[in-house]
Amino acid sequence: MMDSKPVMINYTHRQAGHCESGATSNLFNFYGVKMSEPMAFGIGTGIYFSYLPFIKLMFAPMMSFRNLPNTVFRRSTKYLGVDSTVIRKFSNVKDSMDALDRNLEKGIPTGVQVGVFNLTFFPPEYRQHYNMHNMVVFGKEGNLYHVSDTVMEHPQTLTYEDLVRVRWAKGAFAPKGKMYWINSMPGELDIRKAVKLGVDKSVYEMTKVPFWLIGIKGMRVMAKDIRKWPKKHGNQKAAFYLGQILRMAEDYGTGGAGFRYIYGAFLKESGEMFNNSQLLEASDIMGRTANKWREFTYLGARNCKNRSSQPAEDYNTLGDMMMEIAGMEEQVFKTIEKLKI
């Protein structure tokens, strides 16, 4: 079983801000379609917001700035009409690895969903139980697999045992060996239609989902909660909870400001491509919103620095700022609602 020939697919690794849209854009590029990371992210409706205070992730309320895992790849291939395959889960370890080996022998670079905690080459400060990371396997030599993880600057290698461990990581959102790949590219891609579909879906998800914790509504709920934290939990815990927002927005591979920069870059690129004033206007607001997010980080980080004593910034101010950000983002999606393209 293990005596297969070494395989090395001629796959170009490019660093990206976000793991999944980076993997998707690299896969598109492998099949000869010039697709930047923001385009893949925007068409695949990566932008999202949800605030779930009743679920604790690493001892603090959970919030998410991106869509569920695999959405970007699935939707971008669906909207562009690309023939792709996603295997959601395997029943056992051997099947999942054999399927990967078969793909590599056929010369297909294959994306896999993995857990971060046991990923050996990953920056040690990011070690946490996060099972929604994506990377692309593109080569194999004996026991060693070559993988392209877009968070890292260079391609990396993993042994068979390590790859099994991360592909079968346990816990919430367990990947269960999920893998995906592109079968073939159609001759002509209808990007105009795909942008329209992607933007419409994002507008729905950010402003119209009838649930109060998702999208702009969720941001408003979070803003109200920020004001309550110091009274409810004390200064130390409030600083830690605030830190969770900042970590999620800035640290864990988002390209900055919780994917807002990437989405703005998508609006700008597609606006220039089709010369559409609606998209260009929205991209400007999105860029300013992202800068506001960064400002929020700078202010919030001062509270995290001296955490036990009196907070350096008032939590009411931070809450107001979050409200303002929510208002600005609502404006973005109001602008691109009913997009004429």
Partner 1 sequence: MENSEENTDPVYKNKNYGQYRELFYSYDENGNFQKSVGFHGTTTRVPLEQAWDLFNERIEEARQKVLAGKASPIVYYMEKILADPMGLSMMAGVSLWKLKLHCRPAFFKRLSDKTLAKYAEAFNITIDQLKNIE
Give the binding site for partner 1 (CB under 8 A).
Answer: 15-17, 38, 56, 58-59, 117-118, 123-125, 127-129, 151-154, 156, 165, 170-172, 174, 239-240, 242-244, 246-247, 250-251, 253, 255-257, 261-262, 264-265, 268, 283-284, 287-288, 290-291, 297-298, 300-301, 304-305, 307
Q: How far is the CB of 67 from partner 1 (least distance, A)?
A: 18
Q: CB-wise, 53 or 243, nearer to partner 1? A: 243
Which of 81, 44, 45, 72 lies closest to 183, judged by CA? 81
Which of 133, 153, 134, 136 lies closest to 145, judged by CA? 136
Q: CB-wise, 78 or 288, nearer to partner 1? A: 288
Distance CA 70, CA 72 (A): 6
Mode of pairing for the β-strands spanning 110-114 and 83-87 = unpaired
**331 is written with which tokens?**
């404006």
65's enclosing H/E stretch is: strand 60-66
Q: How far is the CB of 303 from partner 1 (least distance, A)?
A: 9
Q: How far is the CB of 280 from partner 1 (least distance, A)?
A: 9
Which of 46, 26, 45 lies closest to 36, judged by CA? 26
Q: CB-wise, 256 or 323, nearer to partner 1? A: 256
Q: How far is the CB of 223 from partner 1 (least distance, A)?
A: 18
183's enclosing H/E stretch is: strand 179-184
**53 is written with which tokens?**
């205070």
> Which residues touch 92 (CB under 8 Å, ≥6 apart)?
none
Q: CB-wise, 38 or 218, nearer to partner 1? A: 38
Q: CB-wise, 100 or 151, nearer to partner 1? A: 151
Q: How far is the CB of 240 from partner 1 (least distance, A)?
A: 6
Q: How far is the CB of 42 from partner 1 (least distance, A)?
A: 12
Q: CB-wise, 122 or 180, nearer to partner 1? A: 122
Distance CA 233, CA 296 (A): 21
